Structure formats: structure tokens, C-alpha cells
A and B are shown apart, each in its own frame.
Chain A
Amino acid sequence: MSEHLSTVEAAGRYFDGLTARPHAVSLRLDDRFRVTGADIHRDWNLLDLRAGDSVPPLTRVGPAGAADRVEFSDAALAAALAARCPDLRRREAAGGTLRLVLWSVAAGVSVLLVAVFGVPRIAGLLAPLVPDAAEARLGAVAEPQVLRFLGNPPACTEAAGRAALDRLVARLVAAARGGDGAAGAPPGAMPGVLPGVLPSALPGVLPADLAVSVRRHGMANALALPGARVILLSSLIARAESPDEAAAVLAHELGHVSQRDPTRSLIRASGSSFLLSLVLGDLTGSTIIIALGDAVLSAGYSREAERAADAYAVGLMTRAGGNGAALADILERIAKDEEKSDDQKSDDGKGAGEDHGGSGRSGGLDLLRSHPFTRERAATIRALAGPDAAGRQILPGNEWAALKGICGKRPEGPEPKP
């Protein structure tokens, strides 16, 4: 076979791999590759030859694993070498791009699954273990950030309204502590609640250092933060048509607090985004994926947590002598506003028809998320509250008026868009 191979010759430069000195050599390719120059005689097996990266016509070859090599710029010799050396362009451990891509995708999907499903579980296990002091610090760190996100809404501190809010919070806390809700009932409330109506003991514990504040904001919403901090936004109070509606939302947030949902949510969101940003690193579109993941993952509490907080709110309101079903009323009212403002988002088709100047509120921090879910929640809340609930009221009229005025004369500030 080798006798059919023609001989190709060219001039080149030889480097011995020990010094950078070039040696002029003549190259001869037949069934071997022979390098001849002054004091230089190399005879290389074609199977051993490997070519380095270079731009044609320059070619650089040498035996695999050895340091010496030859450089030449002869197209005919380069073509003959390429034809006769089967492994000329072979790179050790190269060519596994498809395998690499598949494994990388599998690894990425695995991390995503951990971030989406694993981290919430871990957060659920960790949240009860966080000491109160650490949680209070977490809340102190988180509150300014949340407020900045909302556009630093000013705090509402009208004295009479503040006093009414404090009394309301004290009533709810006393009721949660298992005290008789009717004991602290104001004169205007329905006197006495039948013992049979009282729900069984409420799950979870409310920490002692509960801090409820009201902020002037155009979004009808409320949020609970780690460290037993609850923020009511003024629009929510303005939208409420009875004191029980506002109180029920507060009770709902207290439900989150008692279950440590804010802490769990914080651990979950930061854990997931930490995991994702570590693995995705930088380059190309990964930052978009991170932003997306962050948005999706920190969207709020799970539906189970919302249902539990609803049940807690109804139980707490009932114990405190209020109307638990009011939560359903205000939920539905705000949900309707939302549907008006962004009707193309309601993919269920119901309620999208009515379109007469939506109030433009954007929201969904944690009170409500999807409209079918709101209907389901409202039905559950009404069933839990029972038929007698509608007649009860948690605050007398004058206190309710004071609470409504907690933000001063203007009922609502200029509507900010967060």
C-alpha cells in the first residue's frame, strides 16, 4: 500500500521543544514523515502526528505528546498530511459537545427543580427554627427594602386613628391568645358569641412584639413581614366598607405572621435566587433568567398558606366578635377592581366584559393573586364564617371613622405606581 504513496517535499522550520531557536529543515512525506537538517534527523510515524491550531497555509505538526514540532507553509504537503494521517486533527477529550450540552441541561434542570420545589420545603422546615431575635432583625432589614419597593410611602399617624387601630390589634391579639373574644367587646359590638360557634384553638402563636403600621399608598393591599411586622396600605382601609373588612384583612395577615409565612417566604426567595445566580453565573442571557426566576419565585405565599391564613382570619374574627365573612367581601371587591384595570389578564373570560374605566390599581403583593382562586377563597371563607357572621361588627361607628381618618384629611395620596 505504501508504495502507492507519492513523495511530497517542502522546506520548513524545526523546533526541538527545548529552545526557541528555529532550525531550517527539509521535510519529506511518504509512508513516514522525515525531517532532515543540520544535525537533525527525525522520522515520525504518520499515526502519531498531530497538528496544532494554525491559519492556513501555515501548518504546525509534531508527534503526539512530544514537545518538538515542525512549521511549514506548503499547501501540497499540508493536504497530503491531512490525507495520510488519520488522527492529525484529533484532540484528546474533544468532540463531546453534544454530551456536554445534554449533561449541562440536565444539571441546570436539576438545580431549577431544587430551587422551585426543594427550597420551599427546606424553607418550611427552617422557618420555625429561626429564633425570634433573628427574625426581628430580618424584619428590620426587610422593611426598609419593601418600603423602598413601594416608593417610600409615608406613615399614617393620626392620633385618633392610631388609637383605634391599637385597640383593634389588641382585641385581635387577645382573641388569638385564647382569651374570650367577647370580654373586650366594645359597646357597639354584638354582645356575646355563642360558645358553640367558637372555632377550635387557632394554630400558631402570635409573637408579643407585633407591630402594625399604616402607610399612605394607592394600592389596596396589606403585607406581613418577618419579625411580626404588618403593613396596611391606606387604600385598603379606604376601600373597606365596614370595619370588619379592614379587620379581617389584618387578621389574615396575622394568620401569616402566626405561621411565620413571611420568614419562610424570605428564606425561600433568597435561597432560590442565591442558588440560581450561583449556578447560572454570568454571560449571555442568564441574567434575564435570574430576573425571571426571582419574579416567579418571590411571587408570594403558596395557595395552601393563603387558605390557612383565611381560615385563621375567620376564626380570629369570630372569636373577637367580628364578621369573618367580611374578608370575602373585600377580597371580591378588590379583585373586581383589578379585573377592570387589567381585563386582558383574566383568562377565565368571566367579568372581563364589564369595562367602564378601571381605577388603574395594580397590586397582588400577597392578598390576591388569581381571580378564579379569589372566588374559591370567598366561598370557603363564607362557609367557614357561618350564616350568623353577617350581623356582627367588630368596631363601633365612631372608632371606625377614626380609623378611616388615620391618614389625615386626604383620604388617598396621589396614586403612585409601584
Chain B
Amino acid sequence: MAAGAPAPRAAPVTFDTRLGGLTWLALKGFLLSLVTFGIYRFWYVTNLRRFFWSRTALDGSPAEYTGTGKELFLGFLVALAILVPIYLGLFAVSLLAPAIAPFSVVVSFVFLFLLGQFAIFRGRRYRAMRTLWRGIRLGQDGSALAYAARAGGWWLLTLWTFGLAFPFMRASLERYRVNHTLVGTSRMTSTARGRSVLGPWLTLYAVGLGPLIALLVALLVAADFSLPDDLLVPKPGGKPGETVFNPAYAGSNIGLIAELGGYVAAVCVPAALLLIPYYRARETRAFMNAASLGTARLVSTLRARQFYWPYIVYMLSVLGFLIVLGAVGALLVFAAQSAGGVSVVHWAVILVYLVGGPLFAVLYVRVVQARLWAAVAASAAVADPEALEAVVASARGAGSGLQEGLADALDVGGALQIGI
């Protein structure tokens, strides 16, 4: 680059927001998945990805998705062959070794969590290897085992620090993912730092999680780190299984803290939920700004409100549907009472599933997924895009098509993942 060059060109990332055909694609995908006992979902996911990839263009050239539904389906079958013996083994262990039985829930949770992280990394590799830009295939190296081990270690640390290490974990895992992402033969690099998202995280933490964790610790301290078993007692005169707070503790520290905890939770949990999109937007922006390919850098100007808007629209749509539903339901119940048959209500419930299911499936894809994707894409640009021209295609092939099946079978990941 010449030293006296004028303002360097930034190549925008664009996303076509007209979304023509997406409604039909989502509707067809939802209905066929329903009819085919869920098997069509692999083809649905493939179609969704082709749709979103082809509408996302960098420097005028759209991305290409070359994966197929058949690959996803075969990967799922292979994953089943791995998972079924594991599930059966976990079940047999809990049954045959009663000594381990109390821990078997923990053991299976930890094991399946690590397997899930493993699957997430492998799924990302599959998506990278099925993505082409200007005919150059993306790729991912690195070890899914190492990734799962890192994720497990970081989660332990996050738990030990009462969640304070969370942004550092996110940044570390992001660095591992991006630093093992290849475009042709060029390797992407990420300088993501936990510091850069510490502020948003602490906001979320102070408002949502901190008070609850502090109260829990206070409760443990007040109880000398051994919570009494009779904190909850059966409700006198209530139904079996119904419990109330033991009145014997009403005046003590424990009682006060537990009571306070109830009120705090009523405020903190909704506040934390409301702040999650804000944190996600800040994190996405910070991590995208940290990613580069050679001297070409990603630049993101993502605003947090762009992450709120899709959810607000979706919530309002759901609310509107529920109001209409309530009105229609009341009308139907009235009609049923005058007609003298409750089966009308049953039919109404079935109708709600038939109408509400497809409606929300389409709305979710159109409003939430598409708008979030559009917000991330449209707010991004590449600084110094000339460096991209130096990218050289790699000689390696497209890789195994079976890698994403485990993620699907474990129900981690998803059709579209926002960010990189």
C-alpha cells in the first residue's frame, strides 16, 4: 500500500433483505418435517443455509453453500450409532452399579456436555468446508477433542469464579475457533479479548446474576454451609407434593435471606433476560472486530438495538396471536357449551397446533433469524479488502460430510449461527 493513499476502501458485507421465497421455504420445511417424522429437517436446514449464504455477499461476491441434506442425514445416522451405545451404557451403569447411581446424572451430564462441545466444533468444520467464496473453499483444522477439553476447563473456571470468567471463556473459545479457520490456504486470526466484553458482561452480571449469587452465598454462610433439609415442608392441608417455606425459620437469618431471594429473583431474572441481547450484540461486535485474514480486517458497527428489534417484533406477533386465540377460544367454548359437546374444544386445540405451529415456525425464521443475520451482516465490512485477493485456494478436498451429525443428534448448534 502506498503511504499517501486516500481513505482506504472498505468492502461492505451485504445481505439481501427482500427475503423473497423464505416464507415458502420455511413453511414447506416445517410441514414436511412434521410429515416425515423430522427426517426432512436435514434438507430443510440445507435449503435455509443455501438461502442465507447466497444472499450474503462480501465485496459483491455472495457466499456459496455446497452441503447437502443427504450428508447431514448420513451424519445423523452415524452419530446415532455412536450415541445409542453410550446412552444404553449410561443407563446400564446407573442400573447395575447402585453405588454410582446418585452420580450417574452428573456423570452423564458432564460427558454429554463435553460431547456436545466436540460436536459443535465438528459441525463448524462441516459448515466451513461446505462454504465457498469466489470459488475458494473455507476450512477448519484444529482438534475437536482439544476444543471440548478447553470448553470443559473454562466452564469449570467460570463456575468457580461465580461466572466472572465467562467473557474470558467466550474470548478464548472464539480465538480457538477463528484461529483454526482457513480461507483457502490463508489462516484467519482473532485477537478477541475477554476484557473487550467485560463491561457488558459486568452490567448483565450486576443486574441479573450477581444479587442472586450473592444471596445464595449468604444463605450458605448463614446455614454454616449445610442447608437444613427441612427448609421446605409439606403445605399443611395442601395437596401432596405441595411445599411451603418452613415457618420455623421465619425469624432467622436463613428465613430472611430466603425470603429476600424470592423478591430479588422476581426482579433479577427478567432483567437478566432483557440484557442478554445487549450482551450478545456487544460480544458479536467485539469478536468480529478482532477477526482478520492477513491484513484484511473485519469491522463491525453492530448496535445493540438491532438485536432487540427482531425479538420485540416476534414477541408482539406471538402476543397478538395469543389474543386472537383467546378470543376465538372463548367463542368456541361458548359455542361448545351451547352445543353440548366438549369435543369441539379438542378440535380447537388441534386447529391451534395446525395454525400456530407453521405460523410461528415461519415467523421465527423470517423475523428473528433473518433479521439477526441481516443485522450482523449489514453492519460488517472488511477493511483493506485488497488483501483478500491474495487468498489462494487450498488443494485439500471438501472433507467428510458426516461431521455435523453428532451436533444434530445431541441437539446442539443449529441451522444458522450468528457471527463467525
- Residue numbers of A with Cβ under 8 A of B are 13, 15-22, 52-55, 58, 60, 62, 67-69, 71, 93, 97, 100-101, 104-105, 107-108, 111, 134, 137-138, 140-141, 148, 150-154, 217, 274, 278-286, 288-289, 344, 413-414, 416-417
| Complex contact B43–A100 (CB within 8 A) | yes
A284 with B393: CB separation less than 8 A: no
Residue ID in chain B nearest A67 by CB atoms: B135
Return A16 CB to nearest CB of chain B, in Å. Answer: 8
Contact A151 B54, CB 8 Å, known A22-B134, A22-B389, A284-B357: no
Query: Could you tell me if B70 and A69 are in contact, using CB atoms closer than 8 angstroms?
Result: no
Question: Judging by beta carbons under 8 Å apart, are B241 and A152 in contact?
Answer: yes
- Across the interface, do B37 and A17 meet the contact criterion of CB distance under 8 Å? no
CB pair B38 A97 closer than 8 Å: no
Known: A138-B95, A280-B38. A53 touches B53 (CB 8 A): yes
Contact residues in A for B69 (Cβ distance below 8 Å): 100
A93 x B41 contact (CB < 8 A): no
Given the known interface contacts A285-B353, A414-B239, the answer about A55 and B391 at a Cβ–Cβ threshold of 8 Å is: no
Known: A17-B136, A19-B389. 12 other contacts (CB 8 A): A20-B390, A69-B134, A71-B60, A100-B39, A104-B39, A152-B240, A281-B38, A281-B411, A283-B33, A285-B353, A289-B37, A414-B239
Interface residues of B in 159-198 (CB under 8 A from A): 183-184
Number of interface residues of B (CB under 8 A): 62
Residue of B nearest to A344 (CB): B342
| Residue B265 is within 8 A (CB to CB) of chain A in the complex | no
Chain A residue at minimal CB-CB distance from B92: A134
Cβ of B366 under 8 Å from chain A:
no
Chain B, Cβ-Cβ closest to A287:
B38
Q: Mark B38-63, 1 if CB is under 8 A from A, else 0.
A: 11110100000011011101001110
Interface string of B287-325 (1 = CB under 8 A from A): 000000000000000000000000000000000000000
B5 on interface, CB distance cutoff 8 Å: no
A53 CA / B66 CA spacing, docked (Å):
10
B34 close to A285 (CB less than 8 A): yes
Q: Does B32 contact A (CB under 8 A)?
A: yes
6 pairs of A and B residues whose beta carbons are closest in the complex:
A108-B37, A53-B54, A104-B36, A17-B135, A104-B39, A151-B240
Question: Which residues of chain A come closer than 8 Å to B40, judged between CB atoms?
Answer: 100-101, 104
A105 close to B35 (CB less than 8 A): yes
A69 touches B241 (CB 8 A): no
Q: Is the CB of A15 within 8 A of B134?
A: yes
A contact residues around B53 at 8 Å (CB): 53
> In the assembled complex, which residues on chain B have CB atoms less than 8 Å from the CB atom of A140?
98
Partner of A108, one of B39, B68, B136, B353: B39
Closest CB of chain A to B126's CB: distance in Å? 17
- For residue B408, CB closer than 8 A to chain A, the reply is yes
In angstroms, Cα B39 to Cα A100, docked, is: 9
Q: Which of B40, B76, B84, B388 has the most A CB atoms < 10 Å from its CB?
A: B40
Question: Given the complex, which residues of B lie within 8 Å of A52, measured CB to CB?
Answer: 54, 62, 64
B233 to chain A, nearest CB (A): 13
| Residue B409 is within 8 A (CB to CB) of chain A in the complex | yes
Residues of A within 8 A of B390 (CB): 19-21
